[in-house]
Every structure is written in C-alpha cells, then in structure tokens.
Amino acid sequence: MAKDIGKGETQEKYESKKMINIEINHEELTVTEGITVLEASQKIGVKIPTLCHLDLEDLQLYNKTASCRVCMVELIDKNNNSRLVPACVTKAYDGMVIRTDTIKAITARRMAVELLLSNHPNECFTCPKNLECELQALAEELNVREIRWEGERMDYPKDLSSDAIVKDSNKCIYCRRCETACNEVQTCGILSGIGRGFDSFVGPAFNIPMVESSCTYCGQCVQVCPTAALTEMFHTDKVWKAIDDPDKHVIVQTAPAIRVALGELFGMEAGTIVTGKMVTALKRMGFDGVFDTDFGADLTIMEEASELIYRLENNKTLPILTNCCPAWVKFIEHQFPELIHVPSTCKSPHIMFGTIAKTYYAEKNNIDPDNIVVVSIMPCIAKKAEAKRPELTKDERNNVDIVITTRELGAMIKEAGINFKSLPDSEFDRPLGETTGASVIFGTAGGVIEAAVRTAYEWITGDELENVEFEQLRGMDGLRKATVQIGEKELRIGIASGLGNARIILEEIREGKSEYDAIEIMACPGGCIGGGGQPYHHGNREIIRKRKDAIYEEDRNKKIRKCHENPEIIKLYKEFLGKPFGDKAHKLLHTHFEARERI
Amino acid sequence: MSKTRTNIMVCGGTGCLASDSEKVAKNLELIIKARGYEEEAKVIQTGCFGFCEQGPIVKIEPDNVFYVRVGPKDAKDIVDEHIVKGRKVERLLYKEPHHNKKIGKQEDMEFYKKQLRIALRNCGLINPEDIYEYIALGGYEALGKALTQMSRDEVVKEVKESGLRGRGGGGFPTGVKWEITKSQESEVKFIICNADEGDPGAFMDRSILEGDPHSVIEAMAIGGYAIGADKGIVYIRAEYPLAISRLKTAIKQSRELGLLGKNIFDSDFSFDIDIKFGAGAFVCGEETALINSCEGKRGEPDFKPPFPAQEGYWGHPTNVNNVETFANIPPIITKGSEWFSSIGTEKSKGTKVFALAGKINNVGLVEVPMGTTLREIIFDIGGGIQGGKKFKAVQTGGPSGGVITEEYLDTPIDYDSLLSIGSMMGSGGMIVMDETDNMVNIAKFYLEFTMDEACGKCAAGRIGTKRLYEILNKITSGKATMADLDALKQLSYMVKGSSLCGLCQTAPNPIISTMKHFWDEYLAFIKDVDHSQGEGEYDGAKNKDNLMLKA
C-alpha cells in the first residue's frame, strides 16, 4: 500500500499533534510528532529494510514486536553519542538525528540477517517460498555474502498433521506475525510463542499437532509468514497423477476469486481478470472438463435464499448465517458450539458442485461417479480440510477429491511450461460452467449476501429487480451493517469478514442482542479475494482492493446477474433436483455441523 | 518484643535453614523447656544475618554474643552453659582468620565492622512473622507520617531528594520514577515490587523478604500513596517459598491491623497488595517482561517507550521498584532525605547490599555505604581469598556485568564508577575469582546462563547469545582460530547494540571485559597463534570490526 507519512494505527493520535523537525542522513524534514523513524524515512525515499514489522491498517494488523532487529538505525543524541534503535517502533521527536547509512547501522542490519540465516535451513532451492521469501529477499538486499555464525540449528519435525497447513518450525524466524494475525485479527488464539531462548518458535499451545488444535485453517498466518514456516499442504502431484490416469474423468472447478488473482503469479497487474486464460491453461493441462465453482454458488443461492425465506415465513431461527466459508464454519464449531444451529445448512458452493458433478453430471454423461475426480481450485487453505470432513466424504460419490490453492495452480501452470500471459481466452465447459454475475461476487466480502438478496427480492416480491447493484452491501470495512427494502419487509443485513469481526457478531447473537435477519461471514479479511491460498500480498493490501474491483467488474460484464436466472441451474432443478430446498436438494446439498472443543 | 530476659535469635534464612537451623531452634526450645527456663529465655527465628558462610547463626540478646556454625547438637551447650550458667560457649564463637582470635560480639567482627545496614536493618533482629516486632522497631511509622503529615508531592520530593536510585540494576532515580508515574493522568495506577531476583549467586531480595517483609509492604503503601495507586503487586519467583510464605503472613497481619486495606491511618488512602508468582525466568526481572508475566502473558519484554510509568499493567501507569529499593524507603521517610543523602557518594546515595560469593572467605550478604572500595569489601569484610590464593578478578552486576581486576580494587564503588571501569552495579551479585580461575571459562559460564535465560523474542538475543556461547565453546576446546576471536568480538558488540532489552544488551559484557583484561587467556586457547612468540595484547582501538559496532 502506498503509504503517506503519518498514516497508520496512530493516525488519530497524530491529528492533534504538532509538527517537528528531524534529520535523517543529513536531510532535514518536518514530520508529525509521533510517527516512527521508519515512516519518516519513507517520506524522503530512504529505504530501511524490515522483516517482522507489519502494519496493515485495513486489517487492524499491527505487528510491532520489533523482534527481528533488521531495521536498526543509528540514533545520535545531543552529546554526539550514538546507539542503535529499531526504526519500526522508534518514534520521532523534535531535534532527532538519525543515520541509516553508517557502517555501524549497515553492519548491525546485515548481521541480524546473518544470525537469522545461521539458524535457517537455507534450502531455498526446494523451498515452497523460493523467490517469495522475505528473508531470502533481505539477504540479497543487505548484501549478505557469508554466514559467519555456523552452529546449532533448530531441528523440529514438520507438522503435517492437518490436511491444510504445514508448519515447518525450522523456518520460523519468530517474527510473530502469524501470532498477531491469529490472535488479534482472527481472535482464534491458536498460534503463540513456544519454548525459550534459542528454542523458541511459534505453534499451538504445548506444541500439539495443528490438527488437534482449534485452528480454522483460514490461512491468514500463511499469508503473513515471511518465510515458509507456514504454508499450505501441497497437493499438485495428486492432480497430475489423476490427470495421467486414463481411467479417471478429471474435472476442475475454479472459485470466483481465482480469476482476479492468478495473473499476479505471472507478473500481471493485481486485479487483472484472467478468466479466459485460466480456462485455456486448465484445458491445456489436460482436465476433462473445466467448470466454474460459480455454478455451485448459483446453486447455493437457490438453496440459501429458499432457506432464508423459509425461516422468515415460519418464524424460525434468525438471523441466518451464510456458511460458504469453511474456516468460519470451523470457527463457530470451536468457539461458539452453542450456536451451530444458526448457520444455513447449505453445503459450500464447491462441495455442492462436487455433489452435482458426481450425480447429475455423471448420470447425464453416463460416467461412473467412482471414476470422476473433482479438483477444486480455491483461494483458500481451509477448503482442503473441508473436503476431508467425514460428513462430506462418507459418500465418495458426491464429494470433492482434491483441493489446490491459487498458488498451487500457478505452480502447475509453470510446471506445465504454459506461457500464461500469452494464452488466448476460452470459455468454461457446459453445463457446469454456466454462471451468473451474482455468483462471481461470492469472491468478495458482501457478495454472497448481495447475490442472495438479488434472488430473495424477486422471489418475495414477485417483481423484477431493476438495479442489481446493492452499494450498501459493498466496501472494505470488516464489519458492515445495511438494510435492504424488500417489499414490505426491511431486511437487516450484517456482513463480517475476518474472524475477529465474526466474533463480535456471534457474541451479539449469543447475548440475544443481534439485530440482523441475515449475516454473511467470511473468515478472511475482504473475503475470498484475501484468502489464505491467494498469491502472497506481502503486506500490500492495495492488491486486495484491486481484486475486489475486478470481481465487481466481472459481475458487470455478465449478461445474467441473478443466480436463479442461470438456465443450467433451472434445468438442473427441473431435470434432477426438483424444488429448491426440497427433499432431494436437502439430501444432496445440505449438511450439518458439530460442536467441537476449544483447544 | 518478648518480655523474657534473654532472646535467642536463630537465623531462619534459607541458607541457615538448609544447614538445619530449624532443628537448632527446636532443640533450643526443647532444652529450655526441660530446664524450666521458658520464662527466662525465648527462641526467635529471625531473617538472615548475612554471614551465611558461618551459618547457622545464633545470637543471644541482650548479651550480644554471636555463635557461628551452630549444629542441632550444640543446643544443649548453649542452654546449659550460656543461658543457665551465664558462660559463653567458646567453641561456637567466631574466629577471625587474620589473627586467630575468638570474637563474641557481632560489631567487633571484620565482617560487620564496615557494614551499614539500612535495607537490612531488621534482618537478623526481628521475627519476620510478628508484625509487632517490626512495629516495635519503628515499623509503619513512615507510612503513618506520610499519610498524616505529608502531601503526595512531599513524599515524592523526599524520595527524590534522598538521591535513592533503583537497586535492581539500572540505577534510575527512584523519586523521578515516582514523579513520572504520579504525573500520569489515570484513574487506575499500580505499584509493583520486582522480587524476581535471578542473578546467579544473588539473594539480597530474598533475604529482605524473608527477614523483613513488612519493610517492603510499608514502602509499597508509601509509594502507592505517592503515585496515586491503590493496588500493589509483588511479583516473586515461585522458587522462593519461604519468602512467599513470610510475605503472605506479613500481608495478612498488616490487613488485620488496618495497615493495608481501606482508609489506612484514617486517611482517604486505601491500599492493598496481591502476590503474583513467576516461574523463575531471569528475563521477567525486566520490567516490561515482568508486567507481561503478571498479566498472564509470555514473559517477554516489549520495546520501550512506552515505559511502564506511562502504559504498564493492563495499560495503566505502573511503577516498578525492586525489593531493596523499597526497603530503603521507610527510613528515608522517617529520618529524612538529608540523612540518607549524607551517606554514599556524590551521585549514588545510601548503601548497597551485595551478595558475596565465589572464592572468598566470608560468603554472605553485606550492606555497605556507596563509595566503599572493592578492596574493603573483598579483603576486610569478605576476609580475602579462600585458601590464601591470589585475587584475580571480581564480577559485579551478575551476568550483565564485567570483571574488575586488581588495579581497580581501590575504586570507590557506585553506579557510575563501576560503569566507567567496564562493569555495572547490577542487583548486587559479587563473585570473586582467584588465580586458578580461567577467565574464558568464566565468560562462558555467564553466556551459558544468559543464553538459557534469554526469552527468545529478538533475533540478536535469541540467536546471538547462542552463537557467542558456541564460539566460546570452540575457543575453550582449543579448536578456534584468530578469526573466531574477531567474530566473537564483533558479535559481542552486535548483540550489545541490537538486542531488544537489557538482558541481552548486557549479555556480552562478561566477554567484552574478559577480552579486555585477560586477552592472553583467550590467546592461549587459539591454535593458530605462535605461542612461543608471546601472547600479544588486546588493542580494541586497532580493530576495525570493533569500531564498526562499538558505541
């Protein structure tokens, strides 16, 4: 994010503050009192490297541990004594003299990186974060040419216990960004410092396996991890193997948020819509059908809007909570087990897709569902764990087989030698590739509820909805409140993205103070566009905004913008499912949740 | 105080208890009872006398006879000879090593002659589990005076003018700290007593809490009044069970007498104290780490500012002082700042308690006026080096300090003079080394301690101390080259300059100071030095790497 001086968490504090004069590298500048040396330096184009520091205003994620010691600069006092201070947390004061370019400061910074590398596996060649690693980048930036401090290194086994997140503590540089994201933004409290001194690393309490913890697998820790201490579990080889198997009919679905982010992995501007190229790439990779999770999203709305209307008309539990997001589902199961009857019972869109693929699609195309492999490409790490949930896998004939992230898809495209940028556009295959604008916006926070409103409006009022764009449901704030007039009824809607915001909403429900009829919750700030499986934003949240704008643009480009108008969906109900929210739909498209312990 | 004619004071400090002083006291009581002398003599378990080397200590008052190394079997002689017959038990008297003369009176002993006890004033004198004994010696007078005759500003002023500086290590002026906390606008403030003593060999805070817990409670109440806090917390390590139990007893007794609680001395001031236990991490002596630990978080430091005085316990202004600092407060209030500031040196007032340990004859706890020389402490009070060996160096300031060699022994010690000779006051650990000690091993010992005790939060402390230790290990195992010495030096300055908190900022001090004073001992380990050509001299100024990072 392009950052102006004085922006940041203390913005409000600055407002009443005076201007002061400081000197950085002999250059005098006037800044607002209270800004950090790091912020002041940026103003005059002096770059001070950082590693642990993270200041994501829109997420309220401020990692100020000042623990990596990579941003040390020299502070020279009135008596000409100098000492090293961390630029990221040291506040400017009037008359302050800072040098960032002395041999003392440069050596201190370089040695900090050397020390970190001396306790790092240094296996960059095979590391999943190769060329994406912030520590690696710093080593280059700070001209590290040797690691003089050879000695003992951390030697912990990798945590491969979950289906979603891999924790490789040997790569942990103890910046604690993940801890801040997990505890302060997501309020899950899974990750925290373990051990003392040299043995310190981050993990769940008592270093229990991730799978035994209450981790939601939202992946926000993975998004902020500067190294590969936290990554997703990689499943690309499983996909290649399935494609290679002549007996298997391998079909792929892509989530709405992939198409606005995938291009970034190939050097394209954030927010570039690459739907057509993506489809072409998937076809070239050898998938037997390239479909769209948006189809599943349209289907979800058919069910969810019906459920909402049912609950409204029959005075059943309100508010209704959307449950497309598996991390959010796991969050409520662990953190609010007494409220698990509140969310909609719909399966998530990609799981609905899997079900339809192995039933309706199999039947229609006369393929044995046992030979169908459904691959989901998701912006999400939690979807990997979701696809393995017992209640969703007990029948192998209606599930999703493999889930890979946007990043993994990028890696596969590269592996396949496909020159992504120069690919022509293609269309999704039919019938499961027919979609609407309403399902595209599932990819951004507020989109699911907007899609539901578009449908519910027409179903409740019987009138045609002229303007499908509900501006009041859009934006980047993590917690939003809006009302939509539907006939006589004023529908009160809440939208929360980020689990910390979800917690606020759930606490209101628990205390009986909730004033909403329907609430959309997404675990990742900003929704799926900011998902844990998306290309790394490296602290640049402007990327997320651009992805959001692209999502709405994709919606505007669509001819059909209401889920229930998707002709293939209409056909699906007519030929196969019967009535929305009916018996067959219930059996195939709905699920249940489980109260879980909080660990 | 008891109305009995004779009081038999038996040391009940942790050191003497470990040498069976509990049994000594029990035997004394039994025999006194058997002889029918209960009305005549009473056994009192006191706090530490300080002369731990000679423990268990038994002192008979008012006869002023000081018995040393008293075993449970000696109880009979003490009662039969001393109490019944009024004769000193000669064999239990202390024998001064210099002139082999037996000494009966405490004040005649070299160990006590040069001491001046302010913080330890009641240790070894009163029963710490009896509040009335504390009150009989003027206890809670200071609190009464502060609450009824002084304004909050006057209390702060008195402490400020006394020149008292923090005894926990940093030496920050206590009055200034109180003033800053007082000036914060906040409804809620806290005062915390840092009893997380952790330097190897240091036990002054433990002894004060064991021997005179009320002095700390009284001082915290005075401090609470001064800064506007109605809540105090004693953060103490769980490894100090005796100190904890005596503190608990003392708090209970103070509450019963209304010296803690609502409207103390009928004033508007209410104050109470809670105890929080630490798990014994050295870093929790750092005040921000201490506060995190009090809040139930990981005991790790935070970047300062904000200082605890601005944002401390749960975000409220918090004043953190060390046990010994607090113990000095009541006398300052009763006797006045002028009295206190008349003791000591220009910038360091009052006294300082040191824990003497290592190769010294009189291991124990001593309190001397600031400005006393190291030579006086080590050779007069401490009785010189064990086994008549030659003095080599003394480490002050614990693992954060440095070694001081013979040439600096006549330095009058205070905060600033110790810093100027490459060490520091620290919390008062003083470890003496003789000619047989290898200084590289000494440095390694301290580094092992800081490496183990580093919290791990910052890279410099977490990895830096580990690497320093590893290089030292390489040196002492004879595998190191000159390049390793350079690396050691450079990394020492890096860790010193780049670490997050005081623990690791000072961790390299033992290396830096031993390299400065005992360079030849480092060189002796180096394999690529031609030892027949002499061992060279350390010249820091000529070293480029040194200049790169040295402040």
pLDDT digits (tens, 9 = 90+) for B32-56: 999 999 888 999 999 999 999 898 9
A80 touches chain B (CB under 8 A): no
Least confident of A172-186, A242-256, B92-106, B522-536: B522-536
| Average pLDDT, rounded, for chain B | 91
pLDDT band at B538 (very low <50, low <70, confident <90, very high): very low
In the sheet that holds B231-237, the strands lie side by side as B272-278, B231-237, B190-195, B318-322
Selected catalytic residue, list A52, A225, A324, A346: A324
B-chain residue closest to A110, CA distance: B494
Cβ-defined contact of B457 to A118 (cutoff 8 Å): no
Return the closest-CA partner of residue B325 out of B134, B180, B197: B197
pLDDT digits (tens, 9 = 90+) for B304-344: 999 999 999 999 999 999 999 999 999 999 999 999 999 99
User: Positive or negative, the Cα torsion across B284, B286, B290, B292?
Assistant: negative
Cβ-defined contact of A197 to B499 (cutoff 8 Å): no
pLDDT digits (tens, 9 = 90+) for B485-517: 999 999 999 999 999 999 999 999 999 999 999
Report chain A residues whose CB lies below 8 A from the CB of B457.
Answer: 65, 67, 174, 193, 200
CATH of span A156-233 = 3.30.70.20
How far apart CA A385 and CA B541 sit, in angstroms, is 61
Fold for B6-113, please state it.
Glutaredoxin (3.40.30)
Cβ-defined contact of A193 to B497 (cutoff 8 Å): no
Residue A5 has pLDDT above 70, yes or no: no
Report chain B residues whose CB lies below 8 A from the CB of A171.
Answer: none
At A318 the pLDDT is: 83
Report yes or no: B288 and B304 within 8 Å, Cβ to Cβ.
yes
Hey, how many other C-beta atoms are within 10 angstroms of the C-beta on B420? 11
At A16 the pLDDT is: 58
Residue B268 has pLDDT above 50, yes or no: yes
pLDDT band at A283 (very low <50, low <70, confident <90, very high): very high
How far apart CA A523 and CA A220 sit, in angstroms, is 9
Report chain A residues whose CB lies below 8 A from the CB of B460.
Answer: 69, 112, 115
Cross-strand partners of B274: B233
Question: Which of B452, B498, B543 to probe the A interface (max A CBs under 10 A)?
Answer: B498
How far apart CA B6 and CA A174 sit, in angstroms, is 62
How far apart CA A507 and CA A339 sit, in angstroms, is 10
Cβ-defined contact of A193 to B463 (cutoff 8 Å): no
Selected catalytic residue, list A39, A134, A264, A386: A386
Report yes or no: A349 and A441 within 8 Å, Cβ to Cβ.
no
Q: Are strands B190-195 and B318-322 parallel, antiparallel or unpaired?
A: parallel
In sequence order, the 6+-apart residues with CB closer than 8 A to the CB of B110 are B96, B98, B380, B381, B383
In sequence order, the 6+-apart residues with CB closer than 8 A to the CB of A247 are A371
Cβ-defined contact of A72 to B497 (cutoff 8 Å): yes
pLDDT band at A8 (very low <50, low <70, confident <90, very high): very low
Return the closest-CA partner of residue A75 out of B180, B498, B232, B149: B498
Of B452, B462, B548, nearest to A107 by CB-CB distance is: B548
How far apart CA B261 and CA B464 sit, in angstroms, is 47
Report phi then psi at A150, rounded to 5: -75, 145
Question: Tell me, what amino acid is at B170?
Answer: G
A161 touches chain B (CB under 8 A): no
Report chain A residues whose CB lies below 8 A from the CB of B451.
Answer: 197-198
Selected catalytic residue, list A269, A391, A415, A553: A391
Architecture of domain B131-341: 3-Layer(aba) Sandwich (3.40)
Cβ-defined contact of A198 to B281 (cutoff 8 Å): no
Is ipTM strictly over 0.95?
Answer: no
Report chain B residues whose CB lies below 8 A from the CB of A196.
Answer: 281, 452-456
Cβ-defined contact of B467 to A149 (cutoff 8 Å): yes
Per-residue H/E/C for B242-276: HHHHHHHHHHHHHHHCCCCECCHHHCCCCEEEEEE
At A57 the pLDDT is: 81
At A3 the pLDDT is: 33
Per-residue H/E/C for B309-323: CCCCHHHCCEEEEEH
CB-defined contacts A:B, below 8 A: 110
pLDDT digits (tens, 9 = 90+) for B429-459: 899 999 999 999 999 999 999 999 999 999 9
B491 Cα to chain A: minimum distance (Å):
8
How far apart CA A448 and CA A519 sit, in angstroms, is 10
Of the CA atoms within 13 Å of residue B90, those in its CB half-sphere come to 2
Residue B245 has pLDDT above 80, yes or no: yes
How far apart CA B197 and CA B280 sit, in angstroms, is 9
Average pLDDT over residues A444-473: 90
pLDDT digits (tens, 9 = 90+) for A232-265: 999 999 999 999 999 999 999 999 999 999 999 9
Is B367 in a helix, a strand, or coil?
strand
Cβ-defined contact of B466 to A86 (cutoff 8 Å): no
At B200 the pLDDT is: 84
Cβ-defined contact of A197 to B451 (cutoff 8 Å): yes
What angle, 0 to 180 degrees and rounded to 10, lies between the N-to-C axes of helices B152-162 and B174-183?
150
Label residues A340-349 b or e (16+ Cβ within 10 Å = b).
eebbbbbbbb
Cα B95 from chain centroid (whole Å) = 27
Give the CA angle between residues A359, A522, A300 to the nearest 5°.
25
Report yes or no: B281 and B235 within 8 Å, Cβ to Cβ.
no
pLDDT digits (tens, 9 = 90+) for A169-226: 999 999 999 999 999 999 999 999 999 999 999 999 999 999 999 999 999 999 999 9
Report yes or no: B522 and B444 within 8 Å, Cβ to Cβ.
no
Report yes or no: A492 and A516 within 8 Å, Cβ to Cβ.
yes
Helices (H), B60-139: 75-77, 85, 110-113, 131-136
Cα A342 from chain centroid (whole Å) = 24
How far apart CA B444 and CA B511 sit, in angstroms, is 8
Label residues A90-111 b or e (16+ Cβ within 10 Å = b).
bebeeebbbbbebebbbbbbbb
A38 touches chain B (CB under 8 A): no
Of B460, B462, B494, nearest to A200 by CB-CB distance is: B462
Report yes or no: B402 and B443 within 8 Å, Cβ to Cβ.
no
Selected catalytic residue, list A528, A546, A562, A563: A528
Report chain B residues whose CB lies below 8 A from the CB of A112.
Answer: 459-460, 494, 498
A223 Cα to chain B: minimum distance (Å):
21
Return the closest-CA partner of residue B165 out of B157, B154, B155, B176: B176
pLDDT band at B96 (very low <50, low <70, confident <90, very high): confident
Average pLDDT over residues B206-217: 96
How far apart CA A209 and CA A238 sit, in angstroms, is 24
pLDDT band at B532 (very low <50, low <70, confident <90, very high): low
Q: Are strands B351-358 and B318-322 parallel, antiparallel or unpaired?
A: unpaired
Question: Which of B463, B484, B491, B504 to probe the A interface (max A CBs under 10 A)?
Answer: B463
Domains A11-117 and A156-233 share a fold: no
Tokens of A143: 């001209």
B479 Cα to chain A: minimum distance (Å):
14
How far apart CA A161 and CA A158 sit, in angstroms, is 9
Cβ-defined contact of B462 to A91 (cutoff 8 Å): no
At B547 the pLDDT is: 45
Of A89, A107, A112, nearest to B303 by CB-CB distance is: A89
What are the start-end ranges of the E strands in A255-393? 289-292, 320-321, 372-378
Per DSSP, the residues of A327-360 read HHHHHHHHH-GGGTTSB--BPPHHHHHHHHIIII
A587 is catalytic: no
How far apart CA B125 and CA B135 sit, in angstroms, is 13
Residue B125 has pLDDT above 80, yes or no: yes
Residue A590 has pLDDT above 90, yes or no: yes
Q: What is the DSSP letter of B151?
A: -
Selected catalytic residue, list A383, A384, A546, A562: A383
Of the CA atoms within 13 Å of residue B151, those in its CB half-sphere come to 4
Per DSSP, the residues of A527-580 read SGGG-TTSPP-TT-THHHHHHHHHHHHHHHH-S--SGGG-HHHHHHIIIII-ST
At A15 the pLDDT is: 53
Of B298, B458, B497, nearest to A108 by CB-CB distance is: B497
- The verdict on whether omega for the bond into residue B306 sits within 30 degrees of 0, i.e. cis, is yes
How far apart CA A242 and CA A437 sit, in angstroms, is 31
Average pLDDT over residues A523-547: 93
Cα A249 from chain centroid (whole Å) = 30
Q: Domain B439-549 class?
A: mainly alpha
A118 is catalytic: no
A307 is catalytic: yes
At B551 the pLDDT is: 38
Tell me the CATH number of domain A11-117, given options 3.40.630.30, 3.40.1260.10, 3.40.50.150, 3.10.20.740.
3.10.20.740
How far apart CA B307 and CA B237 sit, in angstroms, is 23
B interface residues, A as partner, C-beta within 8 Å = 281, 298, 300, 303, 305, 451-460, 462-467, 470, 487, 490-491, 494, 497-500, 548-549, 551
CA distances from A20 to A7, A29, A84, A191, A566 (A): 16, 8, 21, 39, 61
pLDDT digits (tens, 9 = 90+) for A73-130: 999 998 999 999 999 999 999 999 999 999 999 999 999 999 999 999 989 999 999 9
Whole-prediction pTM value? 0.91
* Domain boundaries along the sequence of chain A: 11-117, 156-233, 240-589
pLDDT band at A2 (very low <50, low <70, confident <90, very high): very low
pLDDT band at B546 (very low <50, low <70, confident <90, very high): very low
Label residues B429-449 b or e (16+ Cβ within 10 Å = b).
bbbbbbeebbbbebbbbbbbb
What angle, 0 to 180 degrees and rounded to 10, lies between the N-to-C axes of helices B141-149 and B213-227?
10
At B427 the pLDDT is: 84
User: Is CATH 3.10.20.600 what the domain over B351-434 is classified as, yes or no?
Assistant: yes
In sequence order, the 6+-apart residues with CB closer than 8 A to the CB of B1 are B7, B132, B133, B136
Return the closest-CA partner of residue B502 out of B277, B279, B198, B207: B198
Is B207 in a helix, a strand, or coil?
helix
Average pLDDT over residues A354-368: 94
Per-residue H/E/C for A33-56: CCCEHHHHHHHCCCCCCCCCCEEE
At A38 the pLDDT is: 96
In sequence order, the 6+-apart residues with CB closer than 8 A to the CB of B279 are B237, B238, B293, B299
Least confident of A374-378, B99-103, B450-454: B99-103
Fold for A240-589, please state it.
Rossmann fold (3.40.50)
* Domain boundaries along the sequence of chain B: 6-113, 131-341, 351-434, 439-549
At B542 the pLDDT is: 45
Report phi then psi at A346, rounded to 5: -60, 145
A324 is catalytic: yes
Hey, how many other C-beta atoms are within 10 angstroms of the C-beta on A140? 9
